[in-house]
Structure 1
Amino acid sequence: MEYAVQRYAATRPWAKRVGQLYVQTVQAAEARAQMKDVIKRELERAAQVFEIPQAAIVCELALAEAWGHFVRHGRVISHLEAALASALAHTRQPSNLPDTLNLPAAAFFLHVPGEGGAFVAHQPERKALLLTLVRMGFAPDGVNWLQAADQVELVRVEYPGELAAQLGGVAEEWLSLLSSVLNGLAMMTQPRLELAKAWESAAPADWVADAAHPSCAKTRQKARSQLLKSGFGEVTFCRVADLAGGEYASQGYWRRQAFGEEKANSRLVWVAPR
């Protein structure tokens, strides 16, 4: 399984129930309260066999909430293609995020090849992002989730404020992944970014075909519902044409460009590494 969200669904016994709670409950706060009860019961059962440290409980609650929002908003996965991920890894993260973000969903998973990824939840009314970072190798095959000792890093970022002060408490071992995630989010505002949507490769071909039916909206809606209910996600592949690739002699960076009446607004412009 390529994506951490797939491995989460396959390894956590409460994943399906938590997803249902967040989809069926109108208020996210109510879903969160019920989610905590579900996980508490499961952990109490597990504690009869394994010793569960408090850090693991905190981690699982954070993951469950991120997973719930991910399911609630359509299981959207954004995948940075390898060449773009490499270029962004050689790009200094912006000092600020853009004034306006261009995200694929209110909550989604951003996959960074070779590093891991992040559950992203957008709070537009607060102009904030909640990031739940997970490393590559999350929930390894053949290892019980209680023994895997999966770790997460929770980061809250407000925009368009300065990032440095907000990221001061992030552990050093997470900074590389966090930088790639922030660069990926900034990249989503760039006109040169190309997006291509596709369902996971394991999804049934006939359902995928129906989900793209050229003339019948009802068929498309039914097939999409079948795919989502069966746990298949729609992946948006993000790429930029004509990237040099390979080794870079100089780092990329972000340039802030003022625009609008009296230049009251600003946007980021990516200068790719060379």
Structure 2
Amino acid sequence: MGMQYAVQRYAATRPWARRIAQLYAQAIQAAEARAQMKDVIKRELERAAQVFDIPQSAIVTELALAEAWGHFARHGRVVSHLDASLADALAHTRQPGNLPDTLSLPADAFFLHVPCEGGAFITHQPERRALLLTLVRMGFAPDGVNWLQAADQVELVRVEYPGELAPQLKEVAAEWNGLLASVLNGLAMMTQPRLKLVREWESAAPSEWVAAVAHPSCAKTRQKARGQLLKAGFGEITFCRVEDLPAQAAYGAQGYWRRQSFGEDKAHSRLVWVAPR
């Protein structure tokens, strides 16, 4: 089975992935799971260190990925996939100066996939009005390469909303700016009424199984097909689409975000997307 998403590759390559998912899913408090997660990874890395030279940077990366993965598993393993035409339009859109006052997220932790660029594990801290972004590049955990030798890199970003973004992002390495802008634009896009969310099985899933899941009259057939898909490692993906966006457009003018005030005394504001042309 081809693995299109970084979350699939993480689950397939990290020996502790299943255990970490169980810890976060079963723990009453995420902090409790985090402490146990560190112990699990410490033991695994101590074993691996008998064979490989493990730099400190790799340990930091693996702890960050494990925590992001744990929250992802705890909140239902939701994957949101920006449609190719939307991702292209957002790549030609200036990132917002601020995130919206109110976010519209599919879950408090999920993975946002950006075609051809990579994606981000996103963890929402609503009580702090903050987002933790763990950015991963396309090609994460490549086939045929031991995960300890792959030197997978991540970038950790914390943003508060609706505060100004620029001061919060000044420490982000320049090589991550493109992916970060796409992720922030994607998060802002989730608040837009014109966005359509379509839940489908990932494209690599066998078409006959997908058809059986939607069988119009036989619940047993639907249940069996769903079980086959899940057992084979396929997942349901939420595709984010905007109608009438051209495919592979040659944009001549960048899109941007306009802040619109509303409510009593215009005390609230929202973002309005002006698409590239």
Deviation track 1:153-205 (CA, whole Å, cap 9, x = no partner) reads: 00000000000000010000001100000000000000011110013345688
1: distance between equivalents of 2:20 and 2:233?
A: 13
- Give secondary structure in 1 for the equivalent of 2:54: coil
Aligned to 2:187: 185
* Alignment map for 1:27-106 (pairs within 5 Å): 27-106=29-108
Match of 1:267 among 263, 267, 270: 270
1:242 to 241, 244, 248: 244
- 2:194 alignment partner, SS class: coil
Q: Which amino acid aligns with 2:58?
A: A
* In structure 2, distance between residues paired with 1:226 and 1:101: 35
Structure 1: which amino acid aligns with 2:76? G
Contact preservation (8 Å) 1:36, 1:61: yes
Distance 1:227 1:102, change over 3 A: farther
Which residue number in structure 2 is paired with residue 160 of structure 1? Answer: 162
Give the alignment partner of residue 118 of structure 2, picking from 112, 116, 119.
116
Q: Deviations over 1:75-95 (max 9, x none)?
A: 100000111001000000000
Instruction: Tell me by how many angstroms 1:233 deviates.
Output: 3.0
Q: Per the alignment, in what secondary structure is the counterpart of residue 35 of structure 2?
A: helix
RMSD of equivalent CA atoms: 2.4
SS in 2 for 1:137: coil
Distance change in 2, residues 1:3/1:215 (3 Å): same
The secondary structure found in structure 1 opposite 2:119 is: strand
Question: Which whole-Å CA distance do the structure 1 matches of 2:216 and 2:128 have between them?
Answer: 39
Structure 1 Cα separation of the partners of residues 259 and 119 of structure 2: 26
Cα distance in structure 1, aligned partners of 2:8 and 2:17: 10
Whether contact under 8 Å (1:75, 1:233) holds in the other structure is no
Moved more, 146-155 or 223-232: 223-232
Question: Match of 1:102, SS?
Answer: coil
CA distance in 1 between counterparts of 2:251 and 2:86 reads: 13
Deviation string 1:84-140 (CA, Å, 9 cap, x unpaired) is 001000000000000000000110000000100000000111110000000011000
2:272 alignment partner, SS class: strand
Distance 1:185 1:221 in 2: 33
- 1:199 corresponds in structure 2 to 201
Q: 2:8 maps to what in 1?
A: 6
2-side partners of 1:52 and 1:104: how far apart? 36
**Residue 215 to residue 76, structure 1, CA distance change in 2 (3 Å):** farther
SS in 2 for 1:165: helix
- State the SS of the aligned residue for 2:167: coil
AA at the equivalent of 1:17 = R
Q: CA deviation at 1:232?
A: 4.0
CA distance in 1, matches of 2:126, 2:216: 33
Letter in 2 for 1:33: A
CA distance in structure 1 between the partners assigned to 2:196 and 2:208 by the alignment: 26
Q: Partners of 2:272 and 2:115 in 1: how far apart?
A: 23
Percent identity, aligned pairs only, is: 82
Which one is further off, 192-201 or 4-13?
192-201
CA deviation after TM superposition for structure 1 residue 230, in Å: 7.0
In structure 2, give the amino acid aligned to 1:262. Answer: D
Q: Cα distance 1:167–1:41, how it changes in 2: closer, same or farther (>3 A)?
A: same
Give the unaligned 5+ runs of structure 2.
none
- Find the counterpart in structure 2 of residue 255 from structure 1: 258
Distance 1:26 1:203, change over 3 A: farther
Distance 1:62 1:160 in 2: 25
Residue 24 of structure 1 and its aligned partner are, at CA, apart by 1.1
Q: Which runs of 5+ in 1 are unaligned?
A: none
Deviations 1:204-242 (A, max 9, x none): 88986787688999x999997997687543210011111
Rounded to whole Å, the distance in 1 between the matches of 2:127 and 2:137 is 29
Which one-letter code corresponds to 1:10 in the other structure?
A
Q: Could you tell me how far apart the structure 2 residues matched to 1:77 and 1:25 are?
A: 22
